[in-house]
Amino acid sequence: MTKAKLWRCKICGDPYIGTNPPNRCPFCGAYERFIVEAKDFDSTFDVELTQKDKANAEHALQVEISNAQFYFCAAQKTDDEEGKQLFKALGKVEAEHAAIWRKILKLGKEAVPRSDECSIHNNDNLKESHEREEKAIEFYKKAAAESDHQRLREIFGALVLVELDHLGLSEERM
Ligand SMILES: [Fe+2]
Ligand SMILES: [Fe+2]
Ligand SMILES: [Zn+2]
């Protein structure tokens, strides 16, 4: 039996126990290349923000809160069992993304408020998911390009890839 190790995600900072690094962070969805052994973790969320970076981090937080709200709603209301599970998984990831931006903005923890703004029809929810993910990707790409801060570019860039995963999940079901 291979011994379990403690890993940490450089993007959300959360710890994971396993024999190998997960190929996606189970919390924020970051790719395997961002998972390091906890003893080697040296990433920071204490970043000095320019005005532009701060505005982008604030926008990112609003986008992630809104997307998490939509997905948690769809996880309850959508008329398809697999759809419910997909939206539940997506809601958790987007809530973790919101938590990353709260850390960067030094805002302290806060749960995502619930909303009932989603459809009962799975196809409508998949379509809305697709639109939301496209917007998130476009925004994170722009934010990464606009930042001179290496750590922020790393986070914005890692999240582009995560949202691309999400786009693919709705795309193959539409
Ligand atoms: Fe996200
Ligand atoms: Fe997403
Ligand atoms: Zn993570």
Which residues hold their Cβ within 5 A of ligand 3, which is an ion? 9, 11-12, 25, 27-28, 30
Q: Has residue 43 got a pLDDT over 90? A: yes
Which residues hold their Cβ within 5 A of ligand 2, which is an ion? 133, 163, 166
Nearest C-alpha neighbor of 143 from the set 131, 133, 132, 157: 157
85 to 67, 80, 116, 145, 156: CA distances (angstroms) = 16, 9, 17, 34, 26
Q: How far is the CA of 147 from the centre of ligand 3 (A)?
A: 21
Query: In this predicted structure, what is the pLDDT of residue 1?
Result: 77
Nearest C-alpha neighbor of 40 from the set 9, 2, 4: 9
Q: How far is the CA of 169 from the centre of ligand 1 (A)?
A: 14
Query: In this predicted structure, what is the pLDDT of residue 12?
Result: 98
pTM for this model (two decimals): 0.97
pLDDT above 90 covers a percentage of the chain that reads: 98
